[in-house]
Amino acid sequence: MRLSGKVVLVTGSATGVGEGIARRAAAEGATVVIHGREEERQTGEGIAQELGGLFVAGELSDPLVPRRIVDATVERYGRLDGLVN
């Protein structure tokens, strides 16, 4: 497992290509942080639960949201090893 023990944030991962990337990262051993918009919360939380990760909602066009996502990740896992945007 090449990503074993790594914490990876995948933006836009509540649906589509981002979801596929998050699932692959989890299959490679990563702990994944799922990100999506507020209206994707239910789906994103389900994916995060299935993969053993965290879901964080937020609109990335808001300049405060990226920091909040990173802070939530570090608060939960103590670090962030990778980002797929």
Q: What is the dihedral sign for C-alpha 27, 33, 36, 41?
A: positive
Compute the radius of gyration of the chain from its Cα atoms.
Answer: 11
Write the pLDDT tens digit of every residue in 28-44: 999 999 999 999 999 99
Residue the block writes with tokens 């649906």: 15
The answer to whether residues 13 and 19 touch, using CB atoms and an 8 Å cutoff, is yes
Q: Is the pLDDT of residue 25 over 80?
A: yes
The answer to whether residues 26 and 52 touch, using CB atoms and an 8 Å cutoff, is yes
pLDDT, averaged across the chain? 97
Rounded CA separation 51/20 (Å): 12
